[in-house]
Chain A
Amino acid sequence: MKDTDIKRLLYVHLLCIFSIILSIFIPSFFLENFSVLETHLTWLCICSVSVTAVNLVLYLVVKPNASSKRSSLSYKVTRFLKCCIYFLMSCFSFHVIFVLYGAPLIELALETFLLAVTLSTFTTVPCLCLLGPNFKAWLRVFSRNGVTSIWENSLQITTVSSFVGTWLGAFPIPLDWGRPWQEWPISCTLGATFGYVAGLVTSPLWIYWNRKKLTYKNN
């Protein structure tokens, strides 16, 4: 592991953050009455799309893991389709978990689903980019001593911080402050976004800080 790797990681993460910031400001030039809180669902869609796009582009450009040898078109297409299925599966399973956590079952289903989509964007999409539709690899990355590169390490950190952010975002909901952002699911999406951004910021720093201690099997 070299410092250049960490630097690359940092730049990639900064670009991700930049895409989120852009998704807040750019649409107001094209859409009337756009604001993160009032037209929240629109923002969620835009944010998800832009983060996904940036992730994909960065993955294609940076190529953090040695790409597989096979490069036939059919292989690529099946891989892409598999990724889509994985993404949808993760959206639905997040939706189910939110409902189990106490989200309303029938009312606000669209809102809940968009929250699931956003959270999937922050967690599943990077996993898909980095590890591919390979569930075993995912399980490996998210278990003790399963990390094999700084990319996977940062993936671990951003994913967990996105989850924690969403979880923490649920806490203001019962408070009687009467703020617009306390409505379901705004606080949770904001929490997820903040958690994701925080993960993006801290993971390069944390890796840099612990670079002496971190040893990866494959490096």
Chain B
Amino acid sequence: MRKISVLLFLAWVGFLFYAGIALFTSGFLLTRLELTNHSSCQEPPGPGSLPWGSRGEPGSCWMASRFSRLVLVLIDALRFDFAQPQLSHVSGEPPVSLPFLGKLAFLQRILEIQPYHARLYQSKVDPPTTTMQRLKALTTGSLPTFIDAGSNFASYAIAEDNLVKQLTSTGRRVVFMGDETWNDLFPGAFSQAFFFPSFDVRDLHTVDNGILEHLYPTMDSGEWDVLITHFLGVDHCGHKHGPHHPEMAKKLSQMDQVIQGLVERLENDTLLVVTGDHGMTTSGNHGGDSELETSAALFLYSPTALFPSAPPEEPEVIPQISLVPTLALLLGLPIPFGNIGEVIAEVFSEVEDSQPHSSTLAQASALHLNAQQVSRFLHTYSTAAQDLQVKELHRLQNLFSKASADYQRLLQSPQGAEAALQTVITELQQFLRGVRAMCIESWARFSLVRMAGGAALLAATCFLCLLVSQWATSPGFCFRPLLIPMAWGLTGAVVCAGLLATTGLKLDSVVLGAMAAVGSLLPFLWKAWAGWGAKRPLAALLPMPGPVLFLLLIRFAGFFSDSFVIAEARAAPFLLISLILLLVAQLHWEGKLLPPKLLTIPRLGFLTPAGPPRHNGTHALGLGVGLLLCIRLAGLFHRCPEETPACSSSPWLSPLASMVGGRAKNVWYGACVGALAALLAAVRLWLRRYGNLKSPEPPVLFVRWGLPLMGLGTAAYWALASGADEAPPRLRALVAGASVMLPRAVAGLAASGLMLLLWRPVTVLVKAAAGAPRTRTVLTPFSGPPTSQADLDYVVPQIYRHMQEEFRGRLERTKSQGPLTVAAYQLGSVYSAAMVTALTLLAFPLLLLHAERISLVFLLLFLQSFLLLHLLAAGIPITTPGPFTVPWQAVSAWAFMATQTFYSTGHQPVFPAIHWHAAFVGVPEGHDFTWLSALLVGANTFASHILFAVGCPLLLLWPFLCESQGPRKRRQPPGNEAEARVRPEEEEEPLMEMRLRDAPHHFNAALLQLGLKYLFVLGIQILACALAASILRRHLMVWKVFAPKFIFEAMGFIVSSVGLCLGIALVMRVDGAVSSWFRQLVLAQQKAGEQSSLVYTGAGSSAREAQSHLLPPCSQDLLASGTSLFYNSKS
């Protein structure tokens, strides 16, 4: 019951976190499905005649092309008012003089001189206002969100239909110069391209000057149909200086000259478009959805008259994506499939045509084509995804059918009135605008309420973890109150949901989850606050040691800086190393690091038992140094978030198959296999050290035989994978088959091993032995006459004990038969043995998913977690009989190490850095199991999260395990040597982990506390990510750094919390198995009818067999069940 309530409570806390994450995500991450359909010339978007374009005519598709060439000048962050003239608003006042006003003077002049040729629009941009998303919008005509769920995460290349693709597929020569982001988006699409790096925002001139160097020569050469230039200077100037800086005036004047130069070179068949991709705030940043960020300038110019009327007084406001269908139709291209923009109708008026209706008719036909295309897209999209509102969809479809029918009717009778055409135009425009509004509603709006709610929920849950983990260590802790408010809250939420469902209101599952979470959280917090918080000051709630708190705070703060998130691969080891040094320093400060004899003159040093002390301070120092070394070595396997000249990834991350040169490959292969063997040997050695390798239980047999088999399989797989290309052709099929089967075999073995472990987790060796336990007193050699009282204190009990022993031996010999004794070995490490076995079994399949050389990192991982556990155990006092605590520094170090290992296994929290090749391990080529691939890639990415979360209970177990090495020396105050010696040597074999079993209540409380602390440390990370993403949602790097970081952290958290619950469940399973094992044993003994005793020993090496000792009253359960067999016959 206690176990179940602990697990339930942990699962519930996990659920609270998930609810918070889901709520935040639903408000922050806008998602949309990317369709890969394409429009083509041959397929018109819908039925109906094509008014002008006949398919045979070259250069025209759905509509006859109006321009054969296009110059698109994209000036990054060209805000609308940058193109405004410097106006004096009120005659009396001096004109407002801002550096950015009136600098595009040529633009203004041309607007005045040629009103029918040029037009300025205010283009309304959809958030997120970041360059990459805007470029996508400007070419696809859709509303890119941060996550466009598509087929390809590995690159930024646009998968959707877009203008550039249409241009190249119709054979136009597209020349590009400027921001290299275009190279990522449209790899290989340009006939000629000049890319310049865009990353350094302090550099105002490199990109612009580079473009200017090539612009006019290229233009004069005539080797182009579409010329795209992307200037970055204005944007960088905004980031560096802000718009209100004289530098901005200079930059804008330069742009003005560029436009002038272009206009002078334009020929009659060429259209010039000057536009900004987004605006900027008063501080020069962008990314969000404020008025200034979302208004950009759009300027169209044609050497021939284009517009039917003079421009209006105030420039018209049009959506940015209107440009896409407009340009497509003007250039005689199909409109990109996913476009939802509306054509700028007025450019489709035939100015020189004499017929009265033709102008309106042309506009109507353009709009109709556009509407047909949008309707086709809507139809396709709504069958593929369900995120659009059904009702609205129906309304819009009806609107479209009506308008389309009207249009067709008018086309049949061309004598239709002008007014009727106008109505059709209005209807079509209504349709298009409705579609856009609907899409914006579901794709492109942050929900601040949800974001704040999610963050608040996360914060409250973190607080809850802190509160309950404190509470769990208090002596009067009981498990019942944990479940009651939880149950109340859940029932409340269910009732609420039921009510809503019956009243017919449709509720989001995310909101429902969040409501359930809040509903169960509030009564709990209130109750905890009222019942517990009132008694103590709030300061007692923060029991973390200051330095650890400080380190956690630094980690928390680091999430708010994009530089630190990028550099986390170096920052996490830095913090981890600091924590380790802190631990060592603390040990020294408290006098535990160095044996007291170094500090004081050893008085009776020669009396210490022969051989070096097995556990002392220099040992701890060595552990610390070893740890630092491991961490540094693991740091060599570093991957850059982005390949830049300043940062190059480690070459060791690539698979061996990519290596050329036989010798190096062989050496590396040998090293990898060596690492594997070392890992296996280390695990076996560890199990042997604690004696668990002697047990005849199936899991141990598996460890003895199955693990080497798995190692062999892995090595063989590596050999095949790295040398597959060199295989002779006859064996190709064999090799391919084997490289599919081997990983499956290893994974299957691992799974069966885990099953065995779950089935029989108790790895002890039971020996029934007749005869009395031969307790042997070890007399410490003592030479010379006793000189002091202390020495006398030491000697006298020894003599006494020896006499007692002799006496007892004589007594027992008088009995005809000694009591039947059952010796059970390795009980002291039964929990950890199961954990270590499980971790090793888990590590193998995860190892297979990585590149070969990562096996070295896995070896380091095991090594450094072993060292860390030892180091931590040195600082943790064992408190019997409880309550047991796991200190914060242990949990923090564990979490830091999980992060550090995430990076050192070659991962980075950005999408292009995901190891996609993991999806093909053990999967035959050509098969497409989506869920399996996702599982494999996820397991690869979060391998370190899984291992460390599952291994988390070791933090609790290890100090007890180390007890066998350092017989409670550290519990003695240093310097009190005399007393230490007096402690009877044979008092009892160290109980090790059986101490935990002896206090089941405290054991469960400690497991709960451990889980909550770990969840807290992970929880504040995800909270920091969420807060950073929401506070910095206007930041330049939000979609590049913060949002991916949040997603990775959230996924990692989910994986970790599940792993944690599994790890704790495994410990509980072992505990249950140990209990039932005891019970069986007792029953067997009862049947035998013997008065017997159970001999229990921690480490079962045969040399120590003689030292086995009587089992103390081992388990309270057993006592309660009415057996008192665990007492020795001496009573």
Q: Contact residues of A with B, CB < 8 Å?
A: 97, 99-102, 136, 139-140, 142-144, 167, 170-171, 174-176, 178
Contacts and interface: CB of A to CB of B under 8 A. Distances in A.
Contacts of A101: 574, 577, 628
Contacts of A102: 570, 573-574, 577, 632, 635
A100 B571 contact: no
A156 B574 CA distance: 24
Nearest to B594: A139
B563 A175 contact: yes
A138 to B, nearest CB: 11
Nearest to A170: B574
Contact of A174 (B563, B591, B628): B563
A136 B599 contact: yes
Contacts of A170: 574
A174 B202 contact: no
B589 A142 contact: yes
Contact of A100 (B202, B567, B632): B632
A139 B563 contact: no
A174 B599 contact: no
B588 A174 contact: no
A58 B577 CA distance: 36
A182 to B, nearest CB: 10
A58 to B, nearest CB: 28
Given A100-B577, A174-B571, A178-B202, A136 B598 contact: yes
A179 B594 CA distance: 43
A70 B591 CA distance: 31
27 contacts: A97-B628, A100-B577, A100-B631, A100-B632, A101-B577, A101-B628, A102-B570, A102-B574, A102-B632, A102-B635, A136-B598, A139-B598, A139-B599, A142-B589, A143-B588, A143-B589, A143-B591, A143-B599, A144-B589, A144-B591, A167-B578, A174-B564, A174-B566, A174-B567, A174-B571, A176-B563, A178-B202
Nearest to A105: B632
B309 interface: no
Contacts of A178: 202
B590 interface: yes
Nearest to A172: B563
A48 B589 CA distance: 28
Contacts of B628: 97, 100-101
The interface residues of chain B, by DSSP majority, are classed as: helix
Interface of B: 202, 554, 561-564, 566-567, 570-571, 573-574, 577-578, 588-591, 594, 598-599, 628-629, 631-632, 635
Contacts, number: 48
Nearest to A144: B589
A175 B573 CA distance: 17
B908 to A, nearest CB: 14
A201 B588 CA distance: 26
- 4 A-B pairs with the lowest CB-CB distances in the bound complex, closest first: A174-B567, A100-B628, A175-B563, A176-B563
Contacts of B629: 100
Contacts of A143: 588-591, 599
Contacts of A144: 589-591
Contacts of B578: 167
Contacts of B566: 174
Contacts of B577: 100-102
Nearest to A145: B591
A176 B635 CA distance: 22
A174 B599 CA distance: 41
A100 B578 CA distance: 11
Where chain A touches its partner, the secondary structure class is loop
A71 B554 CA distance: 51
Given A139-B599, A178-B202, 10 more contacts: A97-B628, A100-B628, A100-B629, A101-B577, A102-B573, A140-B599, A142-B588, A144-B589, A174-B566, A175-B561
B627 to A, nearest CB: 9
A170 B563 CA distance: 13
A144 B570 CA distance: 33
Nearest to B588: A143
Contacts of B588: 139, 142-143
Contacts of B590: 143-144
Nearest to A178: B202
A174 B570 contact: yes
A140 B600 CA distance: 10
A20 to B, nearest CB: 26
A3 B712 CA distance: 74
A175 to B, nearest CB: 5
A108 to B, nearest CB: 14
Most chain B CB neighbours (cut-off 10 Å) among A101, A139, A144: A101
Contacts of A167: 578
A100 B570 CA distance: 12
A170 B567 CA distance: 12
Contacts of A139: 588, 594, 598-599
Contacts of A176: 562-563
A139 B592 CA distance: 12
A178 B577 CA distance: 26
B914 to A, nearest CB: 23
B773 to A, nearest CB: 43
Nearest to B590: A144
A171 B571 CA distance: 9
A179 to B, nearest CB: 11
A101 B635 CA distance: 10
A152 to B, nearest CB: 15
B185 to A, nearest CB: 24
A175 B566 CA distance: 10
Most buried by B among A101, A102, A171, A174: A174
Nearest to A103: B632
A18 to B, nearest CB: 31
A174 B571 CA distance: 9
A140 B564 CA distance: 38
Contacts of B564: 174-175
A43 B628 CA distance: 31
B632 A99 contact: yes
Contacts of B574: 101-102, 170
Contacts of B573: 102
B592 to A, nearest CB: 10
Contacts of A142: 588-589
Contacts of B631: 100
A180 B570 CA distance: 20
B651 to A, nearest CB: 16
Nearest to A101: B577
Contacts of B594: 139
Contacts of B567: 174
A8 to B, nearest CB: 28
Contacts of B561: 175
Nearest to B566: A174
A139 B554 CA distance: 29
